[in-house]
Amino acid sequence: MDKILEVNNLKFSFKTYGGIVQSVRGVSFDVNKGEIVGIVGESGCGKSVTAQCLVRLNPEPPGFFEEGSIKYKGKEITEMSEKELRTIRGVEIGFIFQDPMTSLNPTMKVGKQIEEIFIQRKLYNKSELKEKALEILKLVGISDGERRYNQYPHELSGGMKQRIMIAIALVGQPSVVIADEPTTSLDVTIEAQILDLLKDLQNKTKTSIILITHDLGVIAKMCDRVLVMYGGKIVESGNVDDIFYSTRHPYTSGLLGSIASLETKRGVELSPIEGTPPDLFSPPPGCPFAPRCQYAMEICYNKMPPEYEISKEHKTVCWLEHEYAPDIKLPCKIRKKSEVS
Amino acid sequence: METKKQPLVQVQNLSKYFKLSKNDILKAVDDVSFEINDGETVGLVGESGCGKSTTGRCLVRLYEPTSGKVIYDGKDIFDAKSKKDKMELHKNIQMIFQNPYSSLNPRMTVKDIVGEGIRLHEKVGEKELDDRIEELLKAVGLNRDHMSRFSHEFSGGQRQRIGIARALSVDPKFIVCDEPISALDVSIQAQVLNMLKRLQRERGLTYLFIAHDLSVVKYISDKIVVMYLGMIMEQADAEELYKNPCHPYTKALLSAIPEADPDIVRNKERIKLKGEIPSPINPKECCRFVERCSYAKPICSEQIPELKTIDTNHKLACHLY
Amino acid sequence: MDNNYELKNIDKSEFRTVGKNAEKMESITRPNLTYWADAWRRIKKNKVAFISLMVIIVYIIMAIFAPMLSKYDYTAVDSSKMNQFISSEHWFGTDELGRDLWVRVWRGARVSLTIGFVATVMNTIVGGLIGGISGYYGGALDTFIMRVIDVMYGIPSLIVQILVMVVLKPGVKALIIAMCITGWIGSARFVRGEVYRLKEQDFVDAAKVLGVSNFTIIVKHLIPNIMGLIITNVTMAVPGAIFSEAFLSYIGLGIAPPECSWGVLTKTGVKMLRVYPYQLFIPAFFICTTMLALNLLGDGLRDALDPKLRGTE
C-alpha cells in the first residue's frame, strides 16, 4: 500500500494566558492511497487541531509543535517554509471545512470563484475556464449550472455550497483531502446526498480522504479505517468492522452505547458516559479517560498505557490489555449481521 | 371506559406568517394542529425551514401568532393580557434553547442565571436562594463550586445543563425543548437525554421535543409530528411511525439517517430525495412536498392535502391515501 | 520513550479496579477571571495602549496638582517678565503678559480635559438611552428616531455649536451644552446597533420566557454586555470634544479670559508664532499628545474589552 501521509508522535500545543494547552499529545497514524480514514472524537479531543496540523493551518504562534513529524510523500511538513506549504495546500492536500457559509467569498460570483482556483493552481488555459467550471458544477450534481454559475454564494443553500466546496477541493486531483466535519451543519436528507456524492467522487478519483467527525453513523457509512481520539490522544484504531463490532477500548464502547439509533428499543436507557472531557490546561498523567471509566484501575490514573496490538490493524491504548488486568468483556450493542444466526 | 383527560396543550390551527416586503410572505407555520397530553413527550421533527422552531416559540409566546390558538390547561395563552396572567403562564411554560453558546448571558454568573427566575417569581432570602440553586445544579449534575463561574468557562454540555437548570428554576409543568442536544457531542447528548427523561419522571413534566434527528426523537417521544415547510405531513405514536411510515417524506427522512452500524448503513435501501429544500416564501397552495416527491400525482400540485386520520392516533396529509 | 522499563516495573497491585472519579470528571482547571480582570490583563500586555493610559493619567494628575503646587498664579501678570523662553524659573516660559505658561498649561488642562470628558459622558448617556430604547423596541419608534438622527447628521455640528455659543454666555457650562446638542447622535447610533444585535441572542429570549420585564432586560442583560464597547467609544470620542473646545476657544466663542484652556492658549500663542513659537507649540503639543494617547488607548480597549475574545486565547 502506498503511504501518502505518515504522522509520527505528533505533539502540538497552544500558549495561552492560563498556561499551555496541550491539544495533541502524541498522535501517530498513516494514510494510504485510496482509503478513507475517519477520525472520530468529541469536542476538545484534538481531532480538528490534528487535521489542521497536517497542512500547518493552526496559527503559529500561539500554537507550536512540541515534537513529532508529519511526512507527506516523504517530505517533512513541520519543517517546510510558507512558500513550500503553499504549493501543497489546496493542490496536493485539499481541505473541506465544516461551515460552507464562511468558506466562500460572499462578494464574488460562484463561477468566478471556481475559476479563481483554476488560475491559482495553473490548471487549464483561459478559454477553457468557464467550460471546466460548468463541468465541476455538473459533477457535483448541481443542475442548471449556467444559472448557478452567475449567482452569489448567499443565493445558494448550505448543501449546494458544500457541494461546491467539495468540487473545489477535488479539482486538480489532490492525493489527500481532509474533510473537517463536512456535513455537521447540514440537514439529514442533504447530508445523505453529500456523503453519497463524496463517496462517489472518491471512487472515481481514488483520492484518499481523512474524514473528521463526531458522528459515528457517518464513520460507519464512509470509512475504511477509524481512529478514535480522546484527550489529545488516539485511544483506539482499526478497520471499521473492528471498531464497531469488536471494540476494545472503554471509551469507544461507551460512545457506541450512548447513541440512540433507530434500532434502540424505547424504554431502554441509553448508557451515556458520565462527566466531561478533560480540560487540557493541565492534562492528567495517566489515561485521560480514567475519571469517566468504570473499569479504571489505580494504574490508569498514574501511568499512560502503552499501545497494544489486538490484530495487525486493530490497536488499543488501554491498561485492560495488560496481563495483570482483570478480564473484562466490553458491552457490545451491535453485532455483525453474519454473526447473528 | 376512562373518560379521556383533556390534553394539557392543544395547538389549534396555528399559523405564523412573516411579512418580508410588500409582496413576500414567509409562511413559517401554516395551519398546524396537534395535542400534548399531561406527562407526555411529543416530538416535533423536520428539517430547516419546516417551522418547528417557530411553532415552539409561539408556544412560549415569544411570537404572537398570525392566527390560531394554543390552549394550555383549558385557556388560550394568547388571551392572557394582565401581568398576573402572563406571569402565571411564564411559571408554567418554559423553554430550553438550542445553542448553548448564546443562550447564557456571558456577563452573568451561574448563580445569577439560575437564580433569576426564582427571584422573579418568589420572595426568597439569600440563604434559601443559594440552597435552591444548589439543588437545581445537583439535579443537572453540577455542583456548588460552579455557582460563581461564568458560562464561557464551561463546555457545551455543561452549559446546556445550566440552561436546563434555569428552565426548571420556576417549577414549570410544560417545557418546550428546542433542539436541546443538536449542538452537543454524542456522549453528552445521551447524558442530557437521560437527564431530561429522569426529570420528567421525577417532576411530572410534559415536553415538546423539537429536533431534526429522528433516531433521538424516537427514543424520547411518545408521539411524533413530522413537519415540512410549515405544515404537518404525518403524526403518529412513536412506535407506529417507525413501524409504519406512510408519508413519502417520513420514509425518506428515516432512510437518510446514517446508522452507527457499518453492515446496516451500507446495505440500507436508501430513498434518495432529489433537489434542495425549497423556500417557505410565497409557497404555492398545494402539497408542500410536491417538488421533491417521487410519487407526485397531478392533484398534488393543485390542492393542499387534508390531515386525515388513517389509523388510531395516526394522521396523514397526503393525496396518495 | 522508556516504555519497556516502565512496563517491567509494574506491580500487580496497581491493577486494582478503582472506577470513575466523580470530582475529576466535571473539573474546570482554568483560572476564574471576571470580565474586568481579564480586560486589565490584556491591556497590560498591549504596550502601546498601556503607555497611552499612563500618559493620560500623568496629565490628569498634573492638571490637578501642578497649579496648586506652583508659586505662580495663572492670572498673575508681570510686565517685567514678558515673552521669556523656557528657563529654570519658568519651565514653559512666559507669555506676552508675563504669565507663567507652566501654570497656564496645567490650568488649561483642567478645563480642556474636564470639558472633554464631561461632554462625552453626557453625550453617551443621552445618546445611549435614546439609541437603546430605539434598538430594543424597534418598529415605528425606531424608524422615527433614526430618521431624526439622519437629519441631524446632515447639519454640520460645528455650525450648531457656534450658533449655540453665540446665544449663550461663553464659559465651561455653555460649551458643554453646545457639544451635547449635537454630540449624542454618535453614541445613539452605535448603542442602537449593538442592542439590535444583542436582543436577537437566545439569552434575551430566555429572560423573556422567564417573565423578566423589558426594562430589567435592558438594564441587567443588555447594558452589561455593551459596557465594554461603550467605554471604548467614550475613550475615542473625547479627543473630538477636546478639539471642539480648542477650536471654539480659538475663534473666540469658547472659554473667555481670564479662564484659560488649551484652546485659549493656542489662540494667544498663534499671535506670537513668528517671534516666540514656543508659546504655540507647547499647548499644541499637549492637545496632540492627549488626542493621540486617547485614540491609541481606545484601540487597545476595543481589543481588551471584546467579549468574543474572552477565553479563546
Query: Residue A189 in contact with residue B275, Cβ under 8 Å?
Result: no
Edge-first strand listing for the sheet containing B75-76: B25-36, B9-19, B67-72, B75-76
Q: What pLDDT, in 10s, does the model give residues B158-172?
A: 899 999 999 999 999
A301 vs C21: CB contact, 8 Å cut-off?
yes
- DSSP assignment of A230-266: ETTEEEEEEEHHHHHHS--SHHHHHHHHT---TTSPT
- DSSP assignment of C98-112: --BHHHHHHHHHHHH
Residue A267 banded pLDDT, cuts 50, 70, 90: low
Task: Decide if B321 is inside a domain.
Answer: no
- DSSP assignment of C175-218: HHHHHHHHHHHHHHHHHHHHHHHHTTSHHHHHHHHHT--HHHII
Distance from CA of C159 to the nearest CA of B (A): 39
Which residue on chain A is closest to B241 by alpha carbon?
A: A262
Task: Decide if B3 is inside a domain.
Answer: no
CATH code of B310's domain: 3.40.50.300
Exposed/middle/buried for A247, CB within 10 Å: 0-12, 13-18, 19+?
Answer: buried
A244 at the B interface (CB within 8 A)? yes
Residue B235 banded pLDDT, cuts 50, 70, 90: very high
Exposed/middle/buried for C159, CB within 10 Å: 0-12, 13-18, 19+?
Answer: exposed
C21 at the A interface (CB within 8 A)? yes
Q: What is the mean pLDDT of chain B?
A: 88
Of C205, C164, C201, C204, the C-alpha closest to C181 is C164
Between CA A137 and CA B312 the distance in angstroms is: 47
Residue with cell 400525482: B297
Between CA C275 and CA C249 the distance in angstroms is: 22
Backbone φ, ψ for residue C271 (5° rounding):
-60, -35
Torsion angle, alpha carbons of A262, A263, A269, A275, to 10: -60
What residues of B are in contact with residue C203 (Cβ under 8 Å)?
102-105
Query: Distances in Å between the alpha carbon of C19 and those of A2, A113, A250, B13, B65?
Result: 42, 54, 12, 53, 52
What residues of A are in contact with residue B273 (Cβ under 8 Å)?
189, 193
C210 vs B90: CB contact, 8 Å cut-off?
yes
Of C74, C72, C68, C63, the C-alpha closest to C260 is C74
C28 at the A interface (CB within 8 A)? yes
Query: Residue A231 in contact with residue A21, Cβ under 8 Å?
Result: no
The pLDDT of residue C27 is 62
The mean pLDDT of B102-131, rounded to a whole number, is: 91
The pLDDT of residue A340 is 46
Count of domains for chain B = 1
Residue with cell 456523503: A195
A59 at the C interface (CB within 8 A)? no
Between CA A204 and CA A54 the distance in angstroms is: 24
Q: Pick A262's closest partner by Cβ from B48, B259, B262.
A: B259
Task: Decide if B1 is inside a domain.
Answer: no
Edge-first strand listing for the sheet containing B206-211: B93-96, B174-178, B206-211, B41-45, B223-228, B231-237, B314-316, B308-311
What residues of B are in contact with residue A338 (Cβ under 8 Å)?
263
The pLDDT of residue C311 is 47
Q: What pLDDT, in 10s, does the model give residues A193-224?
A: 888 888 888 888 888 999 998 888 899 999 99
What residues of C are in contact with residue B97 (Cβ under 8 Å)?
202, 205-206
Query: Residue B120 in contact with residue C210, Cβ under 8 Å?
Result: yes
Q: Pick C206's closest partner by Cβ from B91, B153, B166.
A: B166
A332 at the C interface (CB within 8 A)? no
Q: Pick A261's closest partner by Cβ from B215, B272, B276.
A: B215
Q: Pick B258's closest partner by Cβ from A187, A215, A263.
A: A215
What residues of C are in contact with residue B109 (Cβ under 8 Å)?
none
Between CA C241 and CA C182 the distance in angstroms is: 11
Find the domain containing B169 and state its range.
9-316
What residues of A are in contact with residue C26 (Cβ under 8 Å)?
275-276
| Grid coordinates given for C142 | 425606531
Q: Pick B102's closest partner by Cβ from C26, C201, C210.
A: C201
List, by residue range, all CATH 3.40.50.300 domains of chain A.
Answer: 3-223
Q: Is A3-223 CATH 3.20.20.140?
A: no
Residues, chain C: 313
Most trustworthy range by pLDDT among A160-169, B116-125, B257-266: B116-125
Task: Decide if B4 is inside a domain.
Answer: no
* 3-state secondary structure (DSSP) of residue C127: helix
Residue B21 banded pLDDT, cuts 50, 70, 90: confident
Give the sign of the dihedral formed by CA C190, CA C195, CA C196, CA C202: positive
A326 vs C15: CB contact, 8 Å cut-off?
yes
What residues of C are in contact with residue A279 (Cβ under 8 Å)?
27-30
What residues of B are in contact with residue A269 (Cβ under 8 Å)?
194, 197
**Beta strands B41-45 and B9-19, pairing class:** unpaired
According to DSSP, the residues that pair with A210 across neighbouring strands are A37, A178
Q: What is the mean pLDDT of chain A?
A: 85
Q: Pick C211's closest partner by Cβ from B87, B108, B166.
A: B87
Residues, chain A: 341
The pLDDT of residue A168 is 79
Task: Decide if B2 is inside a domain.
Answer: no
| Least confident among A91-105, B218-232, C9-23 | C9-23
Q: What is the largest CA-CA distance in chain C?
A: 100
| Grid coordinates given for C195 | 442592542
Of C177, C188, C196, C178, the C-alpha closest to C147 is C188
A295 at the C interface (CB within 8 A)? yes
Cβ atoms within 10 A of the Cβ of B306, count?
A: 10
Q: What pLDDT, in 10s, does the model give residues A13-52?
A: 998 877 888 999 999 999 999 899 999 988 778 898 999 8
Q: Across chain A, where does the E strand assignment appear?
A: 3-16, 19-32, 36-40, 63-72, 75-76, 93-96, 176-180, 208-213, 225-230, 233-239, 307-309, 315-317
Query: Residue A53 in contact with residue A10, Cβ under 8 Å?
Result: yes
Residue with cell 448564546: B102
**Beta strands A233-239 and A315-317, pairing class:** antiparallel
Task: Decide if B40 is inside a domain.
Answer: yes
Task: Decide if B167 is inside a domain.
Answer: yes
Answer yes or no: is pLDDT of B205 > 90.
yes
Interface test with B, best of A164, A188, A229 (most B CBs within 10 A): A188
Which residue on chain B is closest to C309 by alpha carbon?
A: B152
The pLDDT of residue B129 is 93
Between CA C288 and CA C270 the distance in angstroms is: 16
The pLDDT of residue C176 is 87
What residues of B are in contact with residue A43 (Cβ under 8 Å)?
155-156, 185
* 3-state secondary structure (DSSP) of residue C292: helix
Distance from CA of C166 to the nearest CA of B (A): 46
Residue A341 banded pLDDT, cuts 50, 70, 90: very low
* 3-state secondary structure (DSSP) of residue C303: helix
* 3-state secondary structure (DSSP) of residue B45: strand
pLDDT in tens, chain C (313 residues): 444 555 556 677 777 777 777 666 666 666 667 777 878 888 888 889 899 999 999 999 999 988 888 877 877 787 777 888 888 878 888 888 888 888 889 988 998 999 999 999 999 999 988 998 898 888 889 999 999 999 988 888 888 888 888 888 777 888 888 888 888 888 898 899 989 888 888 999 999 999 999 888 988 898 888 888 888 888 988 998 888 888 888 888 888 777 888 888 888 888 888 888 888 898 899 999 999 999 999 888 888 877 655 544 3
Interface test with C, best of A13, A14, A233, A293 (most C CBs within 10 A): A293
C274 at the A interface (CB within 8 A)? no
